Amino acid sequence: MTATSENVPGPGIARFAVVALDCPDPVALAGFYSAVTGWPLDRPFGSDGWVQLDPPDGRGAALAFQKVSSGYRPPEWPGQDQPQQVHLDFDVPDLDEGERAVLALGARKHDVQPAHDRFRVYLDPAGHPFCLVRA
């Protein structure tokens, strides 16, 4: 049976806790997203192989970054040779200001911009697509 909103009872069986992105340098990528979100960097167990950002208020899912030792290939979007499988959206009050800020942090603006006035697509330093969305 496939779950739909009509047949999912109650509050569910789990709480969504973490989104983890594979990358060659978790500390560097976590630093990028820490600057984007303002969330503090946490290195569980003193490891550089898994780094995460926890929301300061303890509400919502954490962002984690997991080391891929060899063979890392960044996702390609909109192509499907190396699909993105996941991307992150961040609401901003002003797209132009948000763009200036993420570019200064090391993001690259993607060539494909399907709705430039509503959201903009970027690539983080490891090549993962993410969007800034006009709030």
What SS3 string covers the chain?
CCCCCCCCCCCCCCCCCEEEEEECCHHHHHHHHHHHHCCCEECHHHCCCEEEECCCCCCCCEEEEEECCCCCCCCCCCCCCCCCCCCEEEEECCHHHHHHHHHHHCCEECCCCCCCCCEEEEECCCCCEEEEEEC
Which range, of 17-31, 40-54, 61-75, averages the lowest pLDDT? 40-54
Question: pLDDT confidence of 74, banded at 50, 70, 90?
Answer: confident
pTM over 0.95: no
Q: 82 phi and psi, to 5 degrees?
A: -135, 80
To the nearest whole percent, how much of the chain has pLDDT over 90? 53
pLDDT, average across residues 90-116: 94
Q: How many CB atoms lie within 10 A of CB 22?
A: 17
Contact 105, 55 (CB under 8 A): no
Give me the residues paired with residue 105 across strands: none
- pLDDT given for residue 1 in this prediction: 45
Amino acid occupying residue 72: Y
Rg (CA), the chain: 16
Domains, the chain? 15-71 (3.10.180.10), 73-135 (3.10.180.10)
Segment among 58-67, 76-85, 97-106 with least mean pLDDT: 76-85
